[in-house]
Amino acid sequence: MAAFKLAFDDAGSGPALLLLHPFPFDKTFWAGVAPAFVNGGLRVIAPDLRGFGASQTNNASWSLLDQAEDVAVLLDQLSVPEAHVLGLSMGGYVALALAALQPQRLLSLVLAHTKATADTDQAKAGRAQAIKTVQTRGVDVFADGMLEKLLAPQATPEVRTRARALMNQPASTVVAALQALRDRPDRQAELSRIDVPALALTGAEDGISTPEENRALAGQLPNAQLEIISGAGHLSPWEAPDAFASTVLRFVHQALK
C-alpha cells in the first residue's frame, strides 16, 4: 500500500463515477464537467494521480499500474466497491490497468481520448526527446509545445489559455510520467475480457487518439459504443464540455439500466 495519500475531490451522491485525469494535468482538469455529473445524480470521485496536483509520491519513478493500485486503495478507503470508471488519455491507460487488476470494480468503462496499444518506436523516441526538453529547458517549454498537439485548430484563445494554465506539474512528475507512458504495456489482449458496458470516445480532430483508432478499440471490446465529438481535439472536456458531459451521462444512465 502506498505510504502517502492521494488528494481527491468527492462530490454528489449516487452511483460512483471515478474520473482519471490526463497528462500533464490534475483533478482540476474536470472542473468544467464535474458539476454536470453531480447534477446528473452521480457521486464524482476525482483523484490527483500520484505526483500530480496535491498528491505526493515517495518514488522518483512509477508505472501506470502503480497509479491503478493507488486508485484501488483510495476506493477501498472511501468504501466504494464499484464505480463507473472514466479515464482520459493517460487516465485511460490507468483505467485499463485497473480493469485488469480489479475487474469487479467496474460498473462501466469510459475510455476517452485513449488507446490500449503500447507506444510505437517513434512515440518512444518522442518521449526521450520530451524528457530531454523538460530536463534542459523546463516544463513550460515542454507544455507550450504539447498544448499545440492537444487542441483542435479552432479552439478559442480562452480555452487555449485555460488549458495551458492547468499544465503545471513538477518537472520530476513530468519526467516520471513520460517514462511510465513510454513503458506502458499493450493491453489489447485484455480487452475481450472487459464485459461491462464500455464507451470509446474521442474528438473528430484528435491526432493523438484518432477516430479510426477508437473505432478499432470499440470493436475489440465486447460491449462497447463509439462516440466521436465534432469540433474537438484531444481535450473534449474543455473544447466541447456540454457534448462531453451529456454523452457520458447518457452512457452511464444506460449502463445502470
Contacts to ligand MLT by CB under 6 A: 22-23, 89-90, 181, 208, 234
In one-letter notation, the amino acid at residue 37 is F
Single out the residue of 92, 101, 105, 91 nearest to residue 52, CA to CA.
91
In the complex, minimum distance from the CB of residue 148 to ligand MLT, in angstroms, rounded to a whole number? 12
What's the min distance (Å) between Cβ of 130 and ligand MLT?
Answer: 9
Q: Which is nearer to ligand MLT, 81 or 207 (CB)?
A: 207
Q: Which is nearer to ligand MLT, 143 or 198 (CB)?
A: 143
Between 90 and 191, name the residue whose CB sits nearer to ligand MLT: 90
Concatenate the DSSP letters of all residues of 154-204 into one string.
T--HHHHHHHHHH----HHHHHHHHHHHHTPPP-GGGGGG--S-EEEEEET
CB nearer ligand MLT, residue 22 or residue 203: 22
CB 201 within 8 A of CB 110: yes
Give yes or no for a contact between 93 and 181, defined as CB atoms under 8 angstroms apart: yes
| Shortest spacing between CB 62 and ligand MLT, in angstroms | 15
Sequence-separated (6 or more) residues with CB below 8 Å from residue 5: 55, 56
CB of 224 to ligand MLT, least distance (A): 20
Is the Cβ–Cβ distance between 214 and 202 less than 8 Å?
A: yes
Q: Which is nearer to ligand MLT, 61 or 223 (CB)?
A: 61
CB of 1 to ligand MLT, least distance (A): 25
Q: Which residue, 197 or 237, has its beta carbon nearer to ligand MLT?
A: 237
CB of 119 to ligand MLT, least distance (A): 7
**85 in Cβ contact with 105 (< 8 Å):** yes
DSSP code at position 101? H
Q: How far is the CB of 196 from ligand MLT (least distance, A)?
A: 23
Indicate the residue among 79 and 120 with the shorter CB distance to ligand MLT: 120
In DSSP terms, 10 is beta-bridged to 45
Report the Cα–Cα distance between both ends of the chain, in Å, rounded. 35
Dihedral pair phi/psi, residue 106, rounded to 5°: -90, 125
